[in-house]
Amino acid sequence: MTTETGDCEPESAALSTEAINPSRSAGGSDFEAVARVVEIDGDGLVAVDREWRYVYANAIVEQLIGRPVSDLLGRCVWDVLPGAVGGPAYRIYHRAMADREPATFEEYSPVFDLWLEHRCLPTTDGGLLVFFRDVTERRRSEAALAHSEAHLSAIIGAATDAILCLDAERRIVVFNAAAERMFGWSAEEANGAPLDTLFPERVRAHYLGYLQRAHAAEPASPVPTRTLFVALRKDGRELPVEASLSPVRVGDQWLYVAVARDITERRAAHRERMRLQRERERLQRERERDAVRQRAFVRDVLFSVTEGRLRLCGDESELPPQRDRCVAVSDLTASSLQFVRTAAFDAAERCGLTAERAADLLMAVGEAAMNAVIHAGGGECVVCGDTQAGVVQVWLTDSGRGIDMELLPKAALQRGFTTAGTMGHGFKMILASADRVWLMTGARGTTVVLEQGRSEPELDYLPKMPAPAATLLIKV
């Protein structure tokens, strides 16, 4: 499976493999921040240059390949893994390298006897970043679930009903092929035999008394439909049966037509369905946990690579407190964009922002408001100004379909990237112009909060995580 996105000219990742320098001391580089988050999440990360030489490999890859990272750096990938040459991953990697387009796919690797998810991201210097995740257990669970569902479908599709006819003396006069299979008697053996033959001895008196009472009361009234019985096969095995009994007048005598169904398989199928339902619920919980981890991963990476400017929010509680309100625009349209810019400029003057910082704010506000108008058909805007702190805050809210989480990193980090449903052409410019940007997006809409102060703030960074002992730290 390969997933490629984007409707613009191909762009490379903001990171460069040529900038990876293992000899540098610990620092806060973009690549290191990404590498730390990836390794904490349990994923493998490899960087190769345009000649397919290893530039970086983390400890997860070292464990997977079974070689120390020092043996990999500078060597060609296809010399290290000759068994992968010509395979699907080989072809997709080369296409991603040639087209400079990201690719995501899952593949069974006979080299490692694992199912791996590959995410390829071209870099600015012509190389590739490749992220690996072991999805073997998920694949096995899905395959087992599909096999169980197919088996259950075959059981249900093969189910048939047994049909028996009884005379007034409760002797069998009709015994069809399904009844032969159900009870183990041939039609020749069953015809003329008393119905008692099909019941275990311990329950015969109860069932026959039930039938006699029903016959004496009103022969034309059927025994209640879908009654459960314990039946007896020829081989002595008992089986649960669901049956209905209906009287049919033939000439001057009454016959009883019994339609019986062996519910042994249905009970087994019910247990299987319950098991499958529990398995589906377990897989759904795993998917939900994966979605939460993905969002947290994207949040932390974007927070790091934007030096704390972009803060991805999961709900309203993570948005900043609203400062003193100055102006509210309840109907954000193309015709009201100039009014929004004017309100933002007035707030900037009241809060003491320099002309240069006010101009940056207007650029960010204009781009964000235009995105809401173009991609979501409009929305609402609130301009706030805290004159004591010297901070202008602008809230833009729309009810569009939100931003695809998979496209958010490209929309935020690649200059010129645009596609329907993303923040569009100017979001990178917003990050470059505003001090801080909060973003909350989902199926019910998007909220963007921009802040600009009198002076550029000291921005936060992703907290550094202690590296495992086996991790080789690579600095850019």
In this structure, are residues 30 and 15 in contact, taking their beta carbons and an 8 Å threshold?
yes
Say how far residue 447 (Cα) sits from the centre of its chain.
23
User: Per the CATH hierarchy, to which homologous superfamily does domain 309-453 belong?
Assistant: Histidine kinase-like ATPase, C-terminal domain (3.30.565.10)
What are the backbone dihedrals phi and psi of residue 51, each rounded to the nearest 5 degrees, phi first?
Answer: -95, 15
pLDDT digits 0-9 by tens, 347-399: 999 999 999 999 999 999 998 898 888 888 889 999 999 999 999 999 999 98
Q: What ranges make up the beta strands (E) of 73-113?
A: 103-109
Say how far residue 199 (Cα) sits from the centre of its chain.
52
Query: 248 vs 172, which has greater pLDDT?
Result: 172
Antiparallel, parallel or unpaired: β 44-48 and 54-57: antiparallel
Query: 302 vs 281, which has greater pLDDT?
Result: 281
On the question of pLDDT at 141 being above 80, the answer is yes
What are the backbone dihedrals phi and psi of residue 474, each rounded to the nearest 5 degrees, phi first?
Answer: -115, 130
Percent residues over pLDDT 90 in the chain: 24
Question: Rounded distance, CA 452 to CA 393, Å?
Answer: 7
Say how far residue 242 (Cα) sits from the centre of its chain.
42
Whole-number Cα distances in Å, 325 to 73, 353, 386, 393: 56, 17, 9, 9
pLDDT digits 0-9 by tens, 301-326: 888 888 888 898 888 999 999 888 77
In this structure, are residues 8 and 417 in contact, taking their beta carbons and an 8 Å threshold?
yes
Average pLDDT over residues 124-147: 88
Q: b/e for 373-389, b at 16 or more Cβ within 10 A?
A: bebbebbbbbbbbbeee
Domain boundaries in the chain? 1-134+264-307+467-476, 157-262, 309-453
* Sign of the CA dihedral with 145 first, then 147, 153, and 159 last: negative
In this structure, are residues 474 and 36 in contact, taking their beta carbons and an 8 Å threshold?
no
Q: What is the model's pLDDT at position 349? A: 93
CATH 3.40.1080.10 fits 157-262, yes or no: no
The residue assigned the tokens 């996105």 is 5
Architecture of domain 1-134+264-307+467-476: 2-Layer Sandwich (3.30)
CATH topology agreement for domains 1-134+264-307+467-476 and 157-262: yes
Q: What is the model's pLDDT at position 33? A: 61
Question: Rounded distance, CA 90 to CA 131, Å?
Answer: 15
Q: What is the model's pLDDT at position 154? A: 54
What's the mean pLDDT when you consider all of the chain?
A: 79
Question: Rounded distance, CA 376 to CA 368, Å?
Answer: 11
Q: Supply the pTM of this predicted model.
A: 0.42
Q: What is the model's pLDDT at position 216? A: 60
Q: What is the model's pLDDT at position 450? A: 95
Among 27-31, 128-132, 138-142, 374-378, which stretch is predicted with the lowest mean pLDDT? 27-31
Question: Rounded distance, CA 73 to CA 107, Å?
Answer: 24
Average pLDDT over residues 422-427: 55
In this structure, are residues 206 and 191 in contact, taking their beta carbons and an 8 Å threshold?
no
